[in-house]
Amino acid sequence: MRLLIVEDEPAIALVIQDVAIDAGFEITGIAGNMSEALELGSGADIALINVRLGDGLTGPSIARALFSGFGLGVVYFTVNPGLVENPEAKPASPEGIVDALSMAAQNARARTHRVASAPTFH
């Protein structure tokens, strides 16, 4: 499964990258802002997005753009639990990151399977 990491702190992005690679994910890129994320989004299946990047609370906007533009599954990453309503969407440990990414990958495969196996009408 191909993963795009959206994180503006290089050290954190590299830790996430290492954790994801160890879990079997292929990293398609690391983006630090929306324009980079949109540039790299077409090559990914899912994205792990920091909710609050250096330019403010832009993670949800990036997530909407990646989902609507490329159909990417999204996992939010934040150290501030009050920023996202769904607690499962905020992995805070390497194990949490792997679990959340695995769930997003499973959902992405299910979406692809449903689309690929849709009936054809003539």
Report the pLDDT value the prediction gives residue 116, as an integer from 0 to 100: 36
Question: Would the pTM of this model clear 0.75, i.e. be above it?
Answer: yes
Q: How far is CA 22 from CA 15, 27, 78, in A?
A: 11, 11, 21
Percent of the chain with pLDDT over 90: 41
pLDDT of residue 24: 94
3-state secondary structure of 84: coil
Nearest-CA neighbor of 78 among 20, 8, 18, 24? 8
What CA–CA distance (Å, rounded) separates 66 from 4? 10
Q: What is the predicted pLDDT for the residue at 113?
A: 38
Q: What are phi and psi of 48, to 5 degrees?
A: -105, 120
- Asked whether residue 27 carries a pLDDT value surpassing 90, the answer given is yes
pLDDT of residue 33: 92
User: Is 66's pLDDT higher than 60?
Assistant: yes
Which secondary-structure segment (H or E) carries 2?
Answer: strand 2-6
